[in-house]
Structure 1
Amino acid sequence: MNRNVIICRLILENPAVTQREISQELMVSLGTANSLVKDCIEKELIAPGKENESYELLPAGQALLNNHKVDGAVIIAAGFGSRFVPLTFETPKGLLEVFGERMIERQIRQLHEAGIFDITIAVGYLKEKFEYLIDKYQVKLLYNPEYSKKNTLATIYHAMDLFKNRNMYLLSSDNWMRHNMYHACEGGAWYSSSYMEGETSEWCFDFNKKGRILNVTVGGEDKWVMYGPVYLSKSFSEQFLPVLEAYYQLPGTEQFYWENVLIEMLSGEAGKRLPDLSEAGREIEIYINRRPADEVYEFENLEELRLFDIKYQHRSDNEALELISKVFSVKESEITEIRCLKAGMTNKSFLFRIKGRHYICRIPGPGTEMLINRQQEKTVYDALASYDITEKVIYFDGKTGYKIAEFYEGAHNANPDSFEEIGRCMDLVREFHKSGIKVSHSFDFQERIEFYENLCKQHGTIPFEDYPEVRAHMSELFKKLDSLDHQKVLSHLDTVVDNFLILADGRVRLIDWEYAGMCDPLVDISMCAIYSYYNEEETDRLIERYLERTPSIEERYTVYAYMALGGFLWSLWAIYKAFLGEEFGEYTIIMYRYAKNYYKKCRELPKF
């Protein structure tokens, strides 16, 4: 860290700066500050001013500042912010307001006040929400295509060119700084730090007397921790970026933060991972920037934000929280322990607590209103209300699809590899199939396939080379199934193991009936098989468990045919979702393989 730069900068900002103020800024003793000022005078960077207790910045000092001028800033804003659901379902975390000002806008304004206008925002999740900043603040946006799969190491990798041969701030969009800590010039690479009294799980610094960071450990007691903005100098980035690029290429680093690379360089672990790493690359130099208490804030969750900004205790302007508040007749501040659940393929859900009990709120994903009839789903739940089959629904809106249900403590999803658990699931399926419950709507595979097929064609071409041939095979299966004329019963249609809950007392519940309707009961066996990625032997065992006997050839044909049709339907569904920007990995291919393979198995069965 070049302390002379900081002294020159302080004098430029305030010629009457005192040595005590210099010592406080540099976090050194008054005697050390006096020696550093004398050194600057001897080097003719500064001179005593004409007035008492003032200094004058000399041309050499100005030249030093020019060499350490900050070129710009990159603000990371690509992530989802799962600990702030449901707010971040609608708004990226950096765009949340604190005291009426969006966090990212506060940082942009502070950068502008310091004379820094070259600002790039690295975006990903809800990237369109940041577009207005281009016009409002003349920022640039950089899209990270891997934001949903990888961590911040990948974000910096995609932004590397912005750091090469430049002095740059690296900021997080969701930080809030009480005071402006940015400057037109900086003395060297640093990481902002706050002091944590007592035990902490944060990343803690070890550093020498000059403030150079020597090591970083996870957790500690009474420690200075990583907290807030970072400054990367040209010389730092020259050493750091090649190592970061090499880490990006290494398997197993997908979930690394960019700081993981720094930490392993400091510890020497990088040299073990990268044997060709030069000695210069091992001696990475970065300093701690110790900040006063209550200056830098990183809000960990909504409840921390509520304590800081009282507005969020009463009104978050979030539709889901406002709904929960109304349904339970409580203040929003009484909705606690909010936690994002695993996002489904169609919906977003979060867990919350009110008056000692946990509940789940489901929010339909964007575009699902044209794919799912929520009024029909409500009709199914109403029909099942008096049976111990589904989750206990507290609230359901047939227009919006918002659903609030009780959370079952100690429950777990069925394990497809546990035939004992799957067997109990089949008992429940058989129970509601035989219950005589009816609704007025049906699930029509042929209609749904045509529906998704048309959606895909509206957005582009269906990518499977042999699609026309496979499509003809599906038509063949429809004709055969129609000729069988099986009785229709209320069927779930989405019997994935994640929708079966094994309660703590051993009972089973089947949740999420959004596709349910009247259909051939064997459909639910077929869907359970393909969702569990079962092979033929496992599928036959599943059929026997459901029927409690050996199936007839016709029954096996029916299950196989619906496995083929289900695979075909859901592969089209996944293709359509991909057109909308949602990818589900190999799911599309797996489903299409079920369509082809189980059509062949239908053909191989004896005629009946």
Structure 2
Amino acid sequence: MKTINANKQVNQRKLAYLLHMSLGKINKLVSILKEKSYLTVKGNVSFKAKEYISNCYPRKATILAAGYGLRMVPINTEEPKGLLEVKNEPLIERIIKQLHEVGITDISIVVGFMKEHYEYLIDQYDVKLIVNTHYNTRNNIYSLYLAKDRLENGYIIPCDIWFKNNPFSTIEDPSWYLFSDKLTSKSNWIVSKSHKVKHTKEQQLGNRMIGIAYLNKVDADKLVQRMSSLIKAKKYDLFWEDALAEKNTFLINGRIIPNSEHAEINSYEELLELDSNSSNLENEAIQIIEDTFNIDKSDINNIHTLKKGMTNRSFIFTVKDKRYIMRIPGAGTDKLINRQEEYDVYEQIRDEPYTERVLYLNPKNGYKLSEFLEGTRNSQADDWQDVIKCMNLLRKFHQQKHSVNHKFDIWKQIEFYETLRNAPSAYKDFLITKDNVLKLKPFIENNISNWTLCHIDANADNFLINKQGKTFLIDWEYAGMQDPDLDIAMFAIYAGYNREQFDRLIDIYYQNDCDEVTRYKIYAYAAVGGLLWSNWCEYKQSLELDFGAYSIAQYRYAKEYSKLVLNYLEKKNA
């Protein structure tokens, strides 16, 4: 009906060409439209058809642009992916202009990550911004749910799509979801010849999902009802398309376009392939890689994000079939870590066989490029064979007596993190707990017998073990001169050990030869470390970075182990 309305002189051969159908099928459809009075006897559009069409005008659009776009590393450290430039035009501006071409000006954009970067669109295109404050913990089903009151007779559009030709129209009906004709193992949905969307069978490839949809009122109401049920059940990790699924079928039909008609930009390499001249490809991390290896950006392959760390964002990439890691410092890191001191530590241990080989480290901003340790895995704190390997390496490192010109002053760091958060603690008894921890300082300082370079961040994730059982210790950004017993305590509190596990760890490191005072000093370090990282977590939370149960666990170590050691000292001195 849309095609007929657009071609007022109905020529059946022309319709067959436009719709990619046989002339016989077009003739049959025209006959049906005449029978239903949508076409007159002469083949003109009838009043009934015009009335039907008047209810099928798209009136609004919602663009989803709240997420991190983690696969866009390293670009996403500088610009949200909706504003990436392709052929001298930001992606989201191209989408807005294409919507304007079909008369849609009622446009809302759901924003979150780097939301301020989208603010200029309000003045330039008269759009509205809907802010998703939970963008870092909830998937895009929550973003769309925030726009639930404006979905009927409207488009849903991801911000990272580029279309060669305008995919939108002045007339739409029925509802549809857009798929590519490209088949992929990453999709569980296949579009039939009748446009029904069905779940793929075992080992069957599915049509690539593009993410754009049009919803009429009936289907919009159904989608909102389904999303509301899922949000009520706190199914925040879902994609909004999951609300379209009903057993083995989709709530709405599928529409297919040629894969060559669009590009979904989910990675640096996809942007490079689409537009090698994009200004967003000029990135500091990429430039470091180019300069270090004396290569062009096109020689950098297989870029993907590593697990997001607590302090940094890192990505892995390949150059000449060898893998490397680039570390990009996270939000607020410049206040937490002295990069010159980190540089000094790596210079001190650079020839040691048990750590990563660093190819580039900037002592000013913390960008670090290192070789990927192939065939390794993170140690497991609940696997005691792994723990033995970790403690053997930690003991060996401590015995080497490496030295640098700075120390990790844990007492100053506690006060420093507390100052950074610039607000009272969320814990009601924080001042009592802090006072108890500070009372441990004389006991600790009176019983330090060794002083050497320590890792400080000696948690199980920073110990890597290869297939031959060789152990490595990486990520030395907090390292400094300290009592080696602090490293033991740090391993325990990161692992979440109970008292029995803690004692087992101490016995492994000390090879069953730890005296009582030293054992309680290590307990005291657990309390001090717990307060330190609790303050650290509260500061990070002020930057909208939440570490969940880890934060509370660290505070519990501060509270419980300070009481444990104070009771011990009281009995000992009685």
Contact 1:189 1:285 in 2 (8 A): no
Contact 2:245 2:251 in 1 (8 A): no
Aligned amino acid, residue 554 of structure 2: M
Q: Out of 507, 532, 535, which is 1:572 matched to?
A: 535
C-alpha distance after superposition, 1:556-606 (max 9, x if no partner): 121011100110111111111111111111112111100011012112335
Q: Does structure 1 residue 309 correspond to structure 2 residue 275? A: yes
Three-state SS of the structure 2 residue aligned to 1:359 is strand
Q: Which residue of 1 aligns with 2:428?
A: 465
Q: Does structure 1 residue 97 correspond to structure 2 residue 63? A: no
Aligned amino acid, residue 207 of structure 1: S
Q: C-alpha displacement at 1:80, in angstroms?
A: 2.3
Contact 2:9 2:44 in 1 (8 A): no
1:309-328 correspondence runs (5 A): 309-311=275-277, 316-328=281-293
Q: C-alpha displacement at 1:297, in angstroms?
A: 2.2
Three-state SS of the structure 2 residue aligned to 1:545 is helix
Gap change, CA 1:266 and 1:185, over 3 Å in 2: farther
Gap change, CA 1:594 and 1:551, over 3 Å in 2: same
1:207-606 correspondence runs (5 A): 207=192, 209=194, 211=195, 213-217=196-200, 224-250=207-233, 253-265=235-247, 267=249, 286-311=252-277, 316-456=281-421, 458=422, 460-605=423-568
Three-state SS of the structure 1 residue aligned to 2:210 is strand
Q: Does structure 1 residue 187 correspond to structure 2 residue 173? A: yes
Aligned amino acid, residue 96 of structure 1: L
TM score, norm. by length of structure 1 = 0.88
Gap change, CA 1:412 and 1:471, over 3 Å in 2: same
Contact 2:180 2:259 in 1 (8 A): yes
Gap change, CA 1:541 and 1:228, over 3 Å in 2: closer
| 1-structure distance, mates of 2:508, 2:251 | 65
| 2-structure distance, mates of 1:121, 1:543 | 54
Q: Out of 127, 137, 145, which is 2:133 matched to?
A: 145
Q: Does structure 1 residue 114 correspond to structure 2 residue 102? A: yes
Identify unmatched segments of 5+ residues in structure 1. Answer: 50-54, 268-283
Contact 2:141 2:240 in 1 (8 A): yes
C-alpha distance after superposition, 1:192-222 (max 9, x if no partner): 232236x64434324354x3x1523278768
| 2-structure distance, mates of 1:534, 1:223 | 46
C-alpha distance after superposition, 1:24-75 (max 9, x if no partner): 45454333434544665677766699xxxxx876655443332111120111
Q: Out of 19, 25, 37, which is 2:12 matched to?
A: 19
| 1-structure distance, mates of 2:360, 2:475 | 14
Aligned amino acid, residue 322 of structure 1: Q
C-alpha distance after superposition, 1:350-403 (max 9, x if no partner): 111111211111111122111110000000110112222321111111001011
| 2-structure distance, mates of 1:315, 1:293 | 24
Q: Out of 129, 144, 153, which is 1:167 matched to?
A: 153
Aligned amino acid, residue 420 of structure 1: Q
Contact 2:187 2:205 in 1 (8 A): no
Q: Which moved more, 1:83-92 or 1:303-312?
A: 303-312
C-alpha distance after superposition, 1:434-493 (max 9, x if no partner): 21211111111111111111122x2x3211111121121122111322333544211111
Q: Which residue of 2 aligns with 1:274?
A: none
C-alpha distance after superposition, 1:282-302 (max 9, x if no partner): xx7522223245112224533
| 2-structure distance, mates of 1:220, 1:465 | 55
| 2-structure distance, mates of 1:596, 1:309 | 55
Aligned amino acid, residue 92 of structure 2: I
| 2-structure distance, mates of 1:20, 1:517 | 80
| 1-structure distance, mates of 2:352, 2:99 | 60
Q: Which moved more, 1:486-495 or 1:27-36?
A: 27-36
Q: Does structure 1 residue 10 correspond to structure 2 residue 6? A: yes
Q: C-alpha displacement at 1:89, in angstroms?
A: 2.8
Contact 2:197 2:254 in 1 (8 A): no
Q: What is the RMSD of the two structures over their aligned residues, measured on CA atoms?
A: 2.5
Contact 2:63 2:156 in 1 (8 A): yes
Aligned amino acid, residue 289 of structure 1: R
| 2-structure distance, mates of 1:146, 1:219 | 35
Three-state SS of the structure 2 residue aligned to 1:350 is strand
Q: C-alpha displacement at 1:228, in angstroms?
A: 4.5
Aligned amino acid, residue 506 of structure 1: G
Three-state SS of the structure 2 residue aligned to 1:142 is strand
Q: C-alpha displacement at 1:527, in angstroms?
A: 0.3
Q: C-alpha displacement at 1:532, in angstroms?
A: 0.6
Three-state SS of the structure 2 residue aligned to 1:343 is coil
Q: Which moved more, 1:284-293 or 1:375-384?
A: 284-293
Contact 1:8 1:46 in 2 (8 A): no
Three-state SS of the structure 2 residue aligned to 1:73 is strand
Aligned amino acid, residue 361 of structure 1: M
Q: Does structure 1 residue 33 correspond to structure 2 residue 36? A: no
C-alpha distance after superposition, 1:390-428 (max 9, x if no partner): 211111110010111111111011110111211121122
C-alpha distance after superposition, 1:303-362 (max 9, x if no partner): 3333332336x9811111111001110111111111100111110111111112111111
Gap change, CA 1:17 and 1:88, over 3 Å in 2: farther
| 1-structure distance, mates of 2:10, 2:530 | 73
Gap change, CA 1:424 and 1:226, over 3 Å in 2: closer
Gap change, CA 1:79 and 1:509, over 3 Å in 2: same
Aligned amino acid, residue 599 of structure 1: S
1:118-137 correspondence runs (5 A): 118-137=106-125
Q: Which moved more, 1:464-473 or 1:26-35?
A: 26-35
Contact 1:114 1:184 in 2 (8 A): yes
| 2-structure distance, mates of 1:295, 1:208 | 20
Q: Which residue of 1 aligns with 2:190?
A: 205
| 1-structure distance, mates of 2:543, 2:269 | 33
Q: How many residues align?
A: 571
Aligned amino acid, residue 247 of structure 1: L
Q: Which moved more, 1:502-511 or 1:149-158?
A: 149-158
| 2-structure distance, mates of 1:356, 1:98 | 29
TM score, norm. by length of structure 2 = 0.93
Gap change, CA 1:122 and 1:401, over 3 Å in 2: same
C-alpha distance after superposition, 1:128-159 (max 9, x if no partner): 22222222211112222333333232222222
Q: Does structure 1 residue 158 correspond to structure 2 residue 146? A: yes
| 1-structure distance, mates of 2:560, 2:90 | 53
The percentage of counterpart residues that share the same residue type is 38
Three-state SS of the structure 1 residue aligned to 2:502 is helix
